[in-house]
Amino acid sequence: MANEEVSFLPLGAIIQSFVVGGVNIVQGFPKQELYVTHNDPYFGETIGRVANRIANAKINSVNGGKEYSLAANNGPNALHGGVKGWGKRVWNGPTPVGLRGIPGLEGELKGGESVEFTLQSEDGDEGYPGEVSVKVVYTTGRVSQGGKEATVLGIEYEAELVAGAEETVINMTNHSYFNLTGGSSIEGTAVQLCTPSYLPVDDGGIPTGGPATFVKVATNEQFTLGAQEPDIDDCFVVDASASPSSVPIDTRGRDLVALVKAHHPESKVHLEVYSTEPAFQYYTGKYIHVPAAEGVPARGARSGFCVEPSRFVNACNVDDWKSQVLLKKGEKYGSRTVYKAWTE
């Protein structure tokens, strides 16, 4: 697309690069083939049908009480859509769709060049019921940020259940790993989340109950990422006082909320992640282990951090949360996320 600072790939509708001040702030590879052979961490992938974990790799009750078995690809649980989730599929695109705005974004967007990726997910894809038509629209541009010019990437998801079942479950996100340092580690990055509330989980990463206060670090105040601590891989809840069942299947009509603000004092790179979603996984990259490949250095633990806007983890199997992810025929699933980055 016209904005050379941001690039995408048909595989997984992947965000391959997001360059700010000469620094590519997302982890990735120079060729699509390397994502096939080396991308165990899901760098840049569009995750679906369901991001994060589903308990015991089963959807317990949809379509009149039917149970659906999924691949157990993360211990006993299903993770990120299965063995070949949407991030491992080749999408149609990128197709230019003209200039678009980003609803809810503060300031006047300059540019707005947009591309669309589409995918047809067949009935039974990785065990999930129903045929789903899905699209991702990426919009790039610039906006004024305190006298500086920030680069903006908007992400809009839309999915429809078109055949094969009356209900299915959807929870999409992007799995970009951010590194604002220009180096091999996120160490020294200052971070602030919008909330202290998270979903406590069992040893397999499945929530054990509703929101509680995160105690490892005061996440809603600025903290600094060290060489190894704090080690975080948790689903944070934007508004713990809101009823989980009040979240619509299409969140695009909701306000964009700044989920995470981060900057690095040496590189002077700033990043803000906004979304209409009720929750987000914040992950400090402990398990990244990618060998060197074709001139790209190895990536190890804490070489990037993730902000994955989403619905609640395992929502499809929790009565009070289920409506967040239950897509019925005739409805549209939707959400919007925005990355905004600039240098001082």
Q: What residues act catalytically? A: 175
If residue 34 lies in a helix (H) or strand (E), which one and from where to where? helix 32-38
Tokens of 128: 């999930």
First-to-final CA distance of the chain: 26
Number of separate helices (H) and strands (E) present in the chain: 1, 26
SS3 at position 337: strand
Residue 43 near residue 27, CB atoms below 8 Å = yes
Q: Which amino acid is at 122?
A: E
Angle at 342 between CA 239 and CA 155, to 5 degrees: 55
If residue 61 lies in a helix (H) or strand (E), which one and from where to where? strand 58-62
Alpha helices (H) in 163-213, listed in sequence order:
none
Residue 127 near residue 69, CB atoms below 8 Å = yes
* Bridge partners (DSSP) listed for residue 118: 92, 135
CA 201 from centroid of its chain's CA atoms: 19
* Bridge partners (DSSP) listed for residue 77: 74
Tell which residue, 238, 340, 327, 295, has the closest CA to residue 48. 327
What DSSP assignment string belongs to 72-130?
--BTBBEETTSTT-GGGSBPEEEEEEEE---TT-SSPPEEEEEEEEEEEEPTTGGG--S
Residues 6+ apart with CB under 8 A from 147: none
